[in-house]
């Protein structure tokens, strides 16, 4: 993969589209409870903070994957090309973006007036395409699995590294975070 200024802008647009999709999901989720937004100033503050975090989450993920990949390439003594990895990450974000768009449509088709605060089955209300929020939860896991799968396959396709080293590069940092989170919750 050759890096050009055009590919930089394509990657940037792709990352921004993903950020906007995350923001749209956050905004649509907040609109499901307009009664709380109108009544509670603290809730409105938390919602606005959530919007900001949602918008920057794809960028933070991008930066985490770039830095952690750089670290793993260093540990395996491989040459690291940040532009190539950046392009690979943006291509790998396709399942995440598609899932986000679908999630937005599912949320926007959820009729908030039919769901009360005491409705414990709101996640199972069928919406557009016959999906509910629990289905979207599983689809979200699947889209992240596809992200890591695409990321690994594209690195493997554009390098001469072993499959074991590619698996360590792709999954190592994220698994380390999961283990640390588990240990922190277990020890506290």
pLDDT tens digits, one per residue of 12-35: 999 999 999 999 999 988 877 666
Burial 144-181, CB ≥16 within 10 A → b, else e: eebbbebbbebbbeebeeeeebbebbbebbeeeeeeee
Task: Of 7-21, 98-112, 121-135, 143-157, give the range with the top mean pLDDT.
Answer: 143-157
pLDDT tens digits, one per residue of 73-105: 999 889 988 889 999 999 999 999 999 999 998
* Contact indicator for 152, 166 with CB cutoff of 8 Å: yes
Which residues of the chain form beta strands (DSSP E)? none
Burial of 60 by CB count in 10 Å (0-12 exposed, 13-18 middle, 19+ buried)? exposed
pLDDT tens digits, one per residue of 50-75: 999 999 999 999 999 999 999 999 99
42 vs 150: which has the higher pLDDT: 150
pLDDT tens digits, one per residue of 164-188: 999 999 999 989 889 999 999 988 7
Residues contacting residue 22 through CB under 8 Å, at least 6 positions apart: 54, 55, 57, 58, 100
The pLDDT mean for the chain works out to: 86
> Mean pLDDT over residues 114-126, rounded?
64
Q: In this predicted structure, what is the pLDDT of residue 30?
A: 81
Q: In this predicted structure, what is the pLDDT of residue 143?
A: 96
* Contact indicator for 107, 28 with CB cutoff of 8 Å: yes
Q: Given pLDDT bands bounded at 50, 70 and 90, which one contains residue 8?
A: confident
pTM of the predicted model, to two decimals? 0.84
Q: Given pLDDT bands bounded at 50, 70 and 90, which one contains residue 119?
A: low
User: Is pLDDT above 70 for 37?
Assistant: no
Share of the chain above pLDDT 90, in %: 50
């Amino acid at each position: 993969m050759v890096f050009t200024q055009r590919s930089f802008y394509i990657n940037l647009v792709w990352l921004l589209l993903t950020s906007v999709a995350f923001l749209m999901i956050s905004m649509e989720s907040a609109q499901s409870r307009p009664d709380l937004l109108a009544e509670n100033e603290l809730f409105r503050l938390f919602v606005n903070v959530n919007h900001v975090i949602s918008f920057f989450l794809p960028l933070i993920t991008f930066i985490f994957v770039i830095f952690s990949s750089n670290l793993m390439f260093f540990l395996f003594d491989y040459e690291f090309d940040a532009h190539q990895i950046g392009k690979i990450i943006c291509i790998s974000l396709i399942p995440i973006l598609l899932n986000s768009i679908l999630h937005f449509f599912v949320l926007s088709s959820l009729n908030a007036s039919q769901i009360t605060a005491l409705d414990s089955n709101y996640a199972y209300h069928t919406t557009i395409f016959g999906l509910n929020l629990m289905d979207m939860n599983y689809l979200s896991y699947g889209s992240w699995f596809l992200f890591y799968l695409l990321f690994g396959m594209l690195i493997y396709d554009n390098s001469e590294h072993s499959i074991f080293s590619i698996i360590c590069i792709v999954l190592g940092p994220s698994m380390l975070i999961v283990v640390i989170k588990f240990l922190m919750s277990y020890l506290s």
